[in-house]
Amino acid sequence: MLRTVVLSAIAALMGFTALFVGAASATGYFKRQPVAATVEIPVEPIAGDCVIQTKWMSDAGRMVKVERPVCY
């Protein structure tokens, strides 16, 4: 009886392991991600490009970050 319980527990553990490994493989968890993607910044802005400009300003003695959109 004890042997049956132990074998069933081992079989269940192997089944759950296979299930989780299969799910991780299907979602791409084991695939290597690129280290760093390079973003090319144009030298001259193109008409229609919008960027967010940020600058720090003092407001009543504390520094606040101010963001504003700038479109070319």
20-68 confidence digits (pLDDT tens): 888 888 877 777 666 655 666 666 767 777 888 888 888 888 888 988 8
Structure confidence at residue 33 (pLDDT): 63
pTM of structure = 0.41
Instruction: Answer for the pair 66, 55: CB distance below 8 angstroms, yes or no.
Output: yes
Give bridge partners of residue 71 from the DSSP assignment: 50
Interval 4-15: pLDDT, tens: 999 999 999 999
Region class of 44: left (phi > 0), else alpha (psi between -120 and 50), else beta: beta
Structure confidence at residue 18 (pLDDT): 92
Please enumerate in sequence order all residues whose Cβ is within 8 A of that of 56, keeping only pairs 6 or more positions apart, or say none.
Answer: 63, 64, 65, 66
Domain limits, the chain: 2-71
